[in-house]
Amino acid sequence: MGKIKVIAYSISLDGYGAGPSQSLENPLGIRGREVHEWMFASKYFRKMIGQDGGVEGIDNDFVEKSFDNVGAWIMGRNMFGPIRGNWPDDEWKGWWGENPPYHVPVFVLTHHERKSIKMKGGTDFHFVTDGIESALEKAKGAAKGKDIRIGGGASTIRQFLQAGYIHEMQLAFSPIFLGSGEALFSGIDMPALGFNKIQRIDGERTTHIIITKE
């Protein structure tokens, strides 16, 4: 049976997974892109978006391995796009173009109904309006025994942590302070949730922290 994981999640030194004021112009919030620069510079990420070049090494290995054995994703609506409230139409299909990098079913948490979207490369976006338990049940069925990856934003990860569903977290701490934004561990007692095994691996541009339960 697969595990439920947060993998290669970028975070600032002061605990923010994205900057404030997310928008179409700033999908990761103000200065949020700086938190993710380690990933954007990697060879594997650049290959995913159809670009040449990029840096090899430890950071690149983490990006590449983050897609291993993933059978389904769950993400929040903010990660899918900048639109709030009712969907005005079916035009918005994500930040990633016609061929998103997921290549598996993706379940998007939202309060507003929308029909599923079939994209190139095996990515299907399904919109779940009845909570994280429903999304997880659907993701388990789609993953067929593989791992389920919980994507952003921070509020989505917090919900799955508080419910006790996450087995492992792989965080990439970037050496910057944002000062404000989406705080990942706000209101979370990690030891109480059983996370007591911590491994540290230094990359070229970030420090990777792997957190698991004994």
Domain boundaries, the chain: 4-82+97-213
Residue 176: strand, helix, or coil: coil
- pLDDT at residue 83, rounded to an integer: 86
Average pLDDT, consecutive stretches of 10 residues, N- to C-terminus, the chain (214 residues) = 94 94 85 94 90 95 96 95 89 91 96 96 96 98 97 93 96 97 92 95 97 89
Residue whose entry in the numeric block shows the structure tokens 């993953």 = 143
Q: Which pLDDT does position 20 carry in this prediction?
A: 87
User: For the domain 4-82+97-213, what is the CATH code?
Assistant: 3.40.430.10
Query: What pLDDT, on the 0 to 100 scale, is given for residue 109?
Result: 97
User: What pLDDT, on the 0 to 100 scale, is given for residue 82?
Assistant: 87
- Tokens found for residue 57: 């090494």
Q: Which pLDDT score is estimated for 23?
A: 82
Its pTM stands at 0.93
Any idea how long the chain is? 214
In order, the DSSP letters of 64-84 are: HHTTTTEEEEEEEHHHH-S--
The closest of 156, 140, 169 to 72, measured between CA atoms, is: 140
pLDDT at 208: 98
Q: What pLDDT was estimated at residue 26?
A: 85
First-to-final CA distance of the chain: 18
